[in-house]
Structure formats: C-alpha cells, structure tokens
Amino acid sequence: MPRWRLLAAAAALSAYALLSWSLMTWWPNSPWAVATLLGPVIVSLLVAGAVKRNLWTVAAALVATALLAALLCIGSTSMNRLYVLQHACLHALLGWGFAITLRPGGTPLITLLAERIHREFTPAMRAYTRWLTGVWVLYFAAMIGVSIALYLLAPWPWWSFFCNVLTPLAAALFFAVEHVLRYRRHPEFERVSLGQVVQAWRASGR
C-alpha cells in the first residue's frame, strides 16, 4: 500500500476519533451523535453479512438498528451506558474470536495467518504466534476492565477520551511494540507488508 494512502487513512481515522470524542462528550444524546458513533458498526455488520451471506450477522445489525431507533424515539435521557456496552461488546467479541482458536486441537488465529504469509514456518515461530494470540486475548480483556473502571470511577469525559482516542492509539502502540520485539527476538520471521496480512485475514474466512 502506498505511503500516501496510509497517511490519508491515518488522518481520516484521527479526524473521526476526535469527532466521536467531541460528540460523545458534549452531545451524547443527539441523534447525530448516535448515528456517527454507532452507525459505522451497524453498517459494517450489514456489509459483512451481505458479502458472506450470513443471515445471523444481517439480523444482528437490523435488531441493533431497531433498538437504537426505539431509544431515540422514547427520548432516552442518557446514551452513556449504551456507548460503554458497545465498547465492551466489541472488545469481548474480538477477544473471543482470538480465544476460541486456542482451544485444544485448534490452530491459534495468528498462527493461521502467519502460516499463510511465511514460506518457512518453524516450531519456534508456531510457539511465538500461539503465545501472541493469547496476549491479544489478555489485551482485549484489559481494555474492557479499564473501560468499566473509568466509567464507574471517573468523569464521563475521561471515559470518552479513553474510548475514542486512547483505544485506537493503544492498539497501534501494541502493534508497533510487538513488531519491534518480534524481529529482535525472532529474526526468522520474514518481513511482510500490511497488504499481505490483510490478504491472509481474508483468506482465513474470518
């Protein structure tokens, strides 16, 4: 992927994060805020369900749309809990998607992706990718724990900043740190591009 596209994507995501933080902090109950903050999740579910012809995914998106519409029609006094629930559910689903592949007899998710990318795959690489899959599970669980703690103990703007700004930054930092440590401790891993990772993810059917 050309560098300018990466920079443009990063700029767009940063702008969206700041917009989401502003809406969630000062106008959390506005219909425009709800559409901006939760709309992309619902649209993503609809598109994924349509592309993969998964009726359950499409049904989940339609149910979520109906619930949001009902909440807006009855004039819910606060959408804060819904935002917290959405953040927690998203990380729980991601964590479960990684954790289920660690079951006995299964292939860890990152191991599966690495096998599709690297021409040579050693036992040490297999052990590392299994360990890294487990670390991602712990990461998602930690994000849920921090989110709930902030919601219960800190002012709402703090949670909003954590959700919209620190959450994507934390994921990016995790990727960057792991990338550096991987090639320092395991130089046998070939250098791969983001495009190769995306292609492997698509090929995995997940």
> Which pLDDT tens digit goes with each residue over 8-48?
665 666 666 666 666 666 666 666 666 666 666 666 666 66
Domain count of the fold of the chain: 1
> Is 0.75 surpassed by the pTM of this model?
no
- Kindly state whether residue 93 falls inside one of the protein's structural domains: yes
C-alpha span between 113 and 97 (Å, rounded): 14
Q: Which domain holds residue 85?
A: 79-203
102 DSSP 8-state letter: G
Residue type, position 2, single letter: P
Is the pLDDT assigned to residue 182 strictly greater than 60?
A: yes
Residue 149 within any structural domain of the chain: yes
Average pLDDT for 163-190:
83
Q: How far apart are CA 126 and CA 108, in angstroms?
A: 9
d(CA 172, CA 178): 10
Q: Could you read off the pLDDT of 155-172 as tens digits, one per residue?
A: 988 888 898 888 988 998
Is position 39 within any domain?
no
The answer to whether position 37 is within a domain reads: no
pLDDT of residue 63: 60
CB atoms within 10 A of CB 161: 18
Determine, yes or no, domain membership for 58: no
Instruction: Indicate whether 165 belongs to any domain.
Output: yes
Task: List the single range of 70-74, 112-116, 129-133, 142-146 with lowest mean pLDDT.
Answer: 70-74
Domain annotation covers residue 19: no
User: Is 162 domain-assigned?
Assistant: yes
For the chain, the distance separating the N- and C-terminal CA atoms, rounded to the nearest angstrom, is: 22
- What distances in angstroms separate CA 7 from CA 3, 10, 130, 172, 176, one per listed residue? 6, 5, 31, 14, 16
